[in-house]
Structure 1
Amino acid sequence: MSDESRPHRTAAVIPAAGRGVRLGPGAPKALRTLGGTPMLIHAVRAMARSRAVSLVVVVAPPDGNAVAEVRRLLDEHALPERTEILVVPGGETRQESVRAGLDALPADITAVLIHDAARPLVPVDTVDSVVEAVRDGALAVVPALPLADTVKEVEPGPPGEPEPVVATPVRARLRAVQTPQGFDLATLRLAHEKVAVDGEGATDDAGMVEQLGVTVVAVPGHEEAFKVTRPLDLVLAEAVLARRRATDAY
């Protein structure tokens, strides 16, 4: 079967192996509850609501019985039956976990979404926009929002100490990038094979693809696709979820 005649099948990979220390001690970030339901479940549902996504791969922590525990958690919550869900063990870094998710994809997948478990409330329209852009020929797509604040580039110094400003980027050219980020699967796999990242590894898959010289395009993001990183973010997420439930939008 030629590439032109191959069916376009899209999967989503959700790396959920991190502990989320900025939310404080306790359960890993992805298992913190939002409206009484773990954020991971919200994130899986967000991907599964898109009819373009036929498979969701959840990447669990690599230790102990984490895969079985995550599988049991998924089985305890209602999820769209049309969407296949796999759970695989991750690695020590986000980059390693994403690679583990990619390695688990079947041969008929042609496009992949990489989605943060800590962005539990991304609307389905945003997911669909990313998938559509990839299907239209973009090799890498990110949802993004214009910045409301002026941004300063500084010379980093010790925590709490004044830092000299070295540049002020033009705000109109800046975007805050969200997830899911969408990719032609072969292109993202090549980036993970070719781009070496030291230390904690890559936190942005689109940035790895950029290093291949591939153009990354941005589509409109959504203000409700914010990342739950700090306790105040969790308060805001609870408010958004309560509003959705009150208006039957969830």
Structure 2
Amino acid sequence: MYVLIAAAGQGKRMGHDRNKLLLTLQGQPILAWTLARVLHAQPKWVGVMAQPADWPAIQTILTHLAPPLPVDIIPGGDTRQASVWNGLQALPPAADTVLIHDGARCLASPALFHRCQAALSTAIGVIAAIPVKDTIKVVPNPPVIAQTPERAHLWAAQTPQGFQVTILKACHAQALAQQWQVTDDAALLERCQYPVQVVLGEDTNLKITTPPDLLIAQALLNHGL
């Protein structure tokens, strides 16, 4: 298992002027929780894409975690897509599959990483996802609703997302050449006409984006998650 962690964001929606992954959750940076979950899954290699300004703080986290394997810190890009491209270039030559995980999803279980990795034995691409619980409205011109999609067909995407490395690199290269912008790597494979398989995710695998998310994560940890 080879894992790339996207950690190059700025945390604007969190209301801070620094990387939200360096904010504390029960006394530890959010990224420390994420790394601990990833490392518990016993990967062969881990790479963290981050902005150079955050590297000293990440090195401090790694010193405290004392991981059983070296963790490479990779320059982050201006977008998540650019960061993943940088991470793909840093993969060890032996990596034929890769799991990509958002650093802000600090509560993903090690078992979820193993389920995604196992699915790659027969799939080109996989994503963790869960069925949506809310009714979704399409509102292209607020405040008027244009459509209400059938909820039974809607899933909320999570990470990790896993891919065959050769195909993912080719899709990223095509995106660069044609200036595509996507919000996750699954969308990139979809655009290149490759099938992406869903692996059942976890309700507790929330992405910490806003201050209320931090409170929810705190509550989940207080209950022993």
TM-score, scaled relative to structure 2: 0.93
Unaligned residue ranges in structure 2 (runs of 5+): none
Distance (whole Å) between structure 1 residues aligned to residue 126 and residue 168 of structure 2: 11
**Per-residue deviation, residues 26-82 of structure 1 (Å, max 9, x unmatched):** 43111111111111111111111113x2111011114xx43344223321x22441x
User: Which among 124, 127, 143 is matched to residue 128 of structure 2?
Assistant: 143
Distance (whole Å) between structure 1 residues aligned to residue 23 and residue 170 of structure 2: 33
What percentage of aligned pairs have identical amino acids?
A: 36
* DSSP-derived class of the 1:195 partner: helix
CA contact (8 A) 2:116 2:160 kept: yes
Unaligned residue ranges in structure 1 (runs of 5+): 1-9, 158-162
Larger deviation: 21-30 or 205-214?
Answer: 21-30
| Counterpart residue number, 1:96 | 82
Cα deviation for residue 185 of structure 1 reads 0.9
| Counterpart residue number, 1:36 | 27
Cα deviation for residue 155 of structure 1 reads 2.1
CA contact (8 A) 1:141 1:218 kept: yes
**Rg (Cα) greater in structure:** 1
Cα deviation for residue 114 of structure 1 reads 0.8
RMSD: 1.7
Q: 1:1-250 residue pairs with structure 2 within 5 A?
A: 10-51=1-42, 53-62=43-52, 65-75=53-63, 77-81=64-68, 83-134=69-120, 136-157=121-142, 163-196=143-176, 201-244=181-224
Q: Which amino acid aligns with 1:95?
A: Q
Q: Which amino acid aligns with 2:115?
A: S
Distance (whole Å) between structure 1 residues aligned to residue 11 and residue 117 of structure 2: 28
TM-score, scaled relative to structure 1: 0.84
Q: How many residues align structurally?
A: 224
| Counterpart residue number, 1:4 | none
Q: Which amino acid aligns with 1:31?
A: L
